[in-house]
Amino acid sequence: MSDLSGLNPEQRKAAATLRGPVLILAGAGTGKTRTLTHRVAHMVSEGISPGRILAVTFTNKAAREMQQRVTKQLKRLPKSLTREDGKPLKPTICTFHSLCVRILRRHIEKLGYKRNFVIYSDSEQLGVVKKVLSAIAGKDVKADARELQGLLSRLKNAGPNGNVPGNEDSLAMAGHIRRRYDSALRAANAVDFDDLLVLTLRVFNEFPEALEECRARYQYVMVDEYQDTNAAQFELMHLLSAEHRNVCVVGDDDQSIYGWRGAEISNILDMEKHFPEVKVIKLEQNYRSTRVILDAANAVIKNNPRRRPKQLWSAKGAGDLLRLESFANEEEEARTIVDEIEFNRMAKRIPWKDHAILFRTNVQSRPLETALRKAEVRYHLIGGQSFFDRREIRDFLAFMKTFINPNDDASLLRIANIPARGLSDVTMERLLGASQERDCSVWKAMKNDLVIHEFQPRTRKSIEAFVGLIEDFRAPLGETELSLASWADKFLDEIDYAAELRKGEKDPENAENRMRNLRDLISTMDDRGGALLPANRLGKFLDDITLDADREADKEDAGDAVTLITTHSCKGLEFPHVFLVGVEEGLLPHSRSAVEGTLDEERRLFYVAITRAMKTLTISHCLNRKKYGQNFLCHPSSFLKELPEELCEDLDSKKEPITVEAGKNLFAAMREGLG
């Protein structure tokens, strides 16, 4: 018999309830994975063959972690329980999609495919969409291939009766091309990622013997993160478990934050509709956070009308009050947070890795990254690409470097054909070869009549137009009164870079966000350099934000580094000291929530962010924020009013000018902390 003595009473109940439908409501930080692994071990100790157990989760990482923990637990049991015919047996622990691959490799021939089907990558799927569009769309038809690719995915996962929000014209086009798209894949004996679920459901619905075979094998089904399942995943789980009804789903409706990608919170809220006899077990003892943090989280989430009531509690003690603070703008917010992190490190010996900064949207990382880099603080970004590594930022910086020094071959080669202007890779390779032969830069080769004379007239014209573009925009850099921000904006408009971004994005909003990233960066170009000539100010601007190789190496170091992370990516993680920034109307909750009716999900996102904190939580908002290079008035999030006053410390009321004496005391404390 497995040892359940290390579990609390509710965890033991969850681990020991083996038969029939079970819903384990596992609140944040309540030891869900520990409970599940003990449950599997207990099943085996009670005579259930490991080969009959199926545990499904959402990511390969989660599946690997659970497999490792389960293997460790099973090693403590007698070998007779985990072996059959002399062979070791282990539970099937995998993602939904890997489970479907196993099933389809065995049964897909029933649908007319060959067993050696291939799974198309994202780029291969996009290629098929473009091919279909070229076959059906005339020159007058405007269609974004990437947008249609995303809509096709959502249509498949929603099921035949599902509702997919989106632009009506785009949805109609996606529906129109879907049959042709599916036919093209089938002709190639290929499936896409979403087909794995859709085709498995077809096999089960059209060939009952295949479903019975899977039911006979997997007599005990467990589904982790059940609040994140979509319509197709729910149907798959329901079909597998409808007969034996030994299904255990684990999740937390309060942490359902992926509705935008198809997750159905109703799957966990309406469990009793499908399994009336379900046993509901709540895990409410939190092992992560202090009582103050949990009381604040409980107070916020209770405002959601449709949820399963639960009350997280902790034996860790009250802990520090939540810290609330407002700032004039995002730059001040970033600088202050970085200063506090550095004070904690030097005076309190709290390492960087114990700190995390959470934000709602990726664009919010720019001022944070800038402040961290300036202070030489290591960090790593989770849930998004570094602001300075994004395509649009790298393109822009390459253009700016070319204006400063057109002989910078690396920068010029990057942007010569962005947007496309007839300077193909072949053309640029020839120009590079010519520059090497003459021991000069590519720029000088482009200005050499003897070199460009070797090209066709059309290509020659493209080279000359590019040279003219660079020279025209270099010329104003000698004008004393030039605004770099206005000059850069004019340049982006001249080359219509916004259209270039729209071409490469399946979601129009992503293109807008990328353009917003650029405008926000451009708005800072006049903040430094003072009376310097524009060319020198531009050089200083580039010097300040260009990364050196050593800093990049630091960023990749997953050791002692501050974590920057989006609120959507932070679920499942925990940090001793958390800074939640930009808690403003329009950001959290997002401006779309009022239109889309997703305010409850935004509140759940706020709840998830709060419950990442173990010891301290600082929540901040700005009075002004730059958008498209302009300052906009901001208002504190309505969620802040839901935090009980007695749990919060208003730092604004304590702000005082720093005196010389206070500064000396602070410095002394830091020195003492460093030893």
User: Which residues are known catalytic residues?
Assistant: 32-33, 224-225, 255, 612
Between the two ends of the chain, the Cα-to-Cα distance in Å is 52
Which residue do the tokens 């309540």 mark?
A: 30
Rounded to an integer, what distance in angstroms lies between the CA atom of residue 31 and that of residue 40?
15
Which residue do the tokens 């300077």 mark?
A: 423
Burial 118-153 (b: 16+ CB within 10 A, else e): eebeeeebbebbeebbeeeeeeeeebbbbbbbbbbb
State the Cα angle at 629 between 623 and 633, rounded to 5°.
Answer: 20
The full DSSP string for 652-663 is GGG--PPPHHHH
Residue 306 and residue 52 in contact, taking contact as beta carbons nearer than 8 Å? no
Alpha carbon distances (Å) from 436 to 416, 422, 448, 455, 500: 18, 22, 13, 17, 31
Residue 283 and residue 26 in contact, taking contact as beta carbons nearer than 8 Å? yes
User: What is the amino acid identity at position 476?
Assistant: P
Alpha carbon distances (Å) from 474 to 361, 428, 479, 518: 34, 21, 10, 20
Extract the tokens encoding 344: 């904690």
Query: Is there a cis peptide before residue 589, judged by omega within 30 degrees of 0?
Result: yes
- Output phi, psi for 452, to 5 deg: -75, -20
Beta strands in 386-518 (DSSP E): none
Nearest to 392 by CA among 483, 265, 510, 302: 510
Beta strands in 124-264 (DSSP E): 190-191, 220-223, 247-251
- Output phi, psi for 631, to 5 deg: -80, 130
Q: Say if strands 83-84 and 87-88 run parallel, antiparallel, or are unpaired.
A: antiparallel
